[in-house]
Amino acid sequence: MRGDAKKSWPVEERTTLGCGAISTFVNEVVLTPAGTRMNRQFLTHPGAVAVVAWDEAADEILVLRQYRHPVGMELVEIPAGLLDVEGEDYCLAAQRELAEEAEIQAGRWDVLVDIFSTPGACEESLRVFLARDLSSAPRPQGFVPEDEEAEMTSTFTSRAAIVEMILNGECESPSLVSGVLALETARLLGKLDDLRPSDAPWLARQ
């Protein structure tokens, strides 16, 4: 069995149905290999990064509580942010988000997992990093939390407790679920030293 592969069916027409601050809602008329045409509506997206910040000594993970209006819930999340700075290195973006949202920096960075959050409806690609050797850091100069971020709280929580909450259906954030379970898998398999480096190729963005 082989993994995911880059492929693109021909697009005969693209129509913008709506524009937002981050995403555009589009309809594409796509020619299938069988010669038929299909319409697919989806959201464009710049991509994102997220961070599992793990204090190994205490065996705790940094989590946030953030209000998410589209789903009408306050979610338990990990630090994350958009890749909306042209040409910015992915790991540098993750480092910036960790400092902005939690005033934390890390001495070691690895890639935990790459996912498409909702590939049937949105082109968002997400890379989740593992950050270790944590210490305090100031927020980047000029950054001021606004809107949901102004109400966001952060705390370190037991890794085992977060895993249990995920398996009990108490946490549903895709970045937290995929990142924490990837960490748990690597930990149990003894693969923590074999994780991909922070600058590893990212298939979705090649």
> Annotated catalytic sites, by residue?
149
Three-state SS sequence of 6-74: CCCCCEEEEEEEEECCCCEEEEEEEECCCCCEEEEEEECCCCEEEEEEEECCCCEEEEEEEEEHHHCEE
CB 166 within 8 A of CB 67: no
Residue 153 forms beta bridges with which residues?
A: 65
